[in-house]
Amino acid sequence: MIKKYKLPILMFFVFEIVAITLWLVLDNCFYFFNFSYIGICIAIGLFLHIKKFKYARLVVQFSVGLYMLVYLGLICQENMLIEGFWYYLCLGVFQAAVIHYVIAKICGPFIFGRGWCGYACWTAMILDFLPYKIPQAPRKKKIGIVKYILFVFSFAFVGTLFVLQIPNLEKIMFISFIIGNILYYIVGIAIAFLFKDNRAFCKYICPVTIFLKPASYFSILRVKCDKEKCINCGKCKKVCPMNVDVINNNRNRENGTECILCTDCINQCSQKALHF
C-alpha cells in the first residue's frame, strides 16, 4: 500500500523539509506554511492521479497557481515573475521570488524536472484549457530564441532601474507583475491558436525555461519506458504536449528536458510500458 503511494508521500516530505528548513534558518514561520501548503497540494494531486481522478493535475494547478498569482502576487504585491527574481537578487535579499526560483526552478528540477510547468504555473493553467492539447504541427525550433531575448531583457530592465536609481521600485515591480501577466496571457493564447498548440508559449516564449532546462536534464523523477512491453505504436509521442520522445530512456532524448510530468503518455499507453 505504501509503495503505491510513495510518490505523493515523497513529494510531501521534500516540500516539508524545505518548509521546516527555511522556517528555522530565516526565523519566519511564513515559509513553513507556504511550502507546506504547496507540498500538501502536490501530494493531494498525485494521490488523486493514482486514484484515476480525471482532473487531478488541474486541482494542483489551480490550488498552487492561484495561490502564487492572487495571494503572493496581487495581495502581498510580490513580483513572482522573473523580473521579481532579478529585483530581490539585486537587493541582496534572500526572500520572496528568489526563494521561489531557487526551490522551484533552479534546484527543484534536479528532483522533479519541469514539474512546475505541469502542476503549478498560473499561465499554463489557463493555456491548458485551450483546444489544442495535442500539438497539431512540428516544433518551430528557431522561434525558441525569443525566450532567450526575454530572459536578457528581464535582467536588463531590472538592472536599468537600479543603475538609474529610479524611485518607488516596489510599486514599479508590482505594476510590471500585473502588466507582465496580462501580456503573458494574451501572447500565450494568441500563439496557441496561431500554432495550434496549447503549450506554444512554454516552448517559444517563456524566459523561465532558461532556469529549468539545465537541472531538468538530471531529473530524478522522469518518465521511463519498459522496452519489453513497448510495441512502438507512437501514441505516447503523439499526445505529448511538449513533443518529448518518452520511449527513449536516454537523458539526451528529444526534448527530454521539457517533460512536464503531465502523464498523458502514461495514460495513453495500452501496454503499460511507461512509468515514473
By CB neighbour count within 10 A (0-12 exposed, 13-18 middle, 19+ buried), where does 223 fall?
buried
Question: What's the confidence (pLDDT) of residue 2?
Answer: 58
Q: What is the pLDDT of residues 97-124, one digit of tens each?
A: 899 899 889 999 999 899 899 999 999 9
Q: How many Å apart are CA 257 and CA 215, to the nearest integer?
A: 8
pTM: 0.90
Q: What is the pLDDT of residues 48-70, one digit of tens each?
A: 888 888 888 999 999 999 999 99
Question: What's the confidence (pLDDT) of residue 142?
Answer: 86
Question: What's the confidence (pLDDT) of residue 190?
Answer: 97
Report residues of the chain scoring pLDDT below 70: 1-3
Question: What's the confidence (pLDDT) of residue 141?
Answer: 80
Mapped onto helix, strand or coil, the DSSP state of residue 191 is helix
Question: What's the confidence (pLDDT) of residue 3?
Answer: 66
Domains of the chain: 78-216 (no CATH), 223-276 (3.30.70.20)
By CB neighbour count within 10 A (0-12 exposed, 13-18 middle, 19+ buried), where does 154 fall?
buried
Residue of 3, 55, 42, 12 whose CA lies nearest to 267 = 55
Contact between 65 and 37 (Cβ < 8 Å): no
* 48: its cell numbers: 488523486
Contact between 249 and 230 (Cβ < 8 Å): no
Contact between 231 and 271 (Cβ < 8 Å): yes
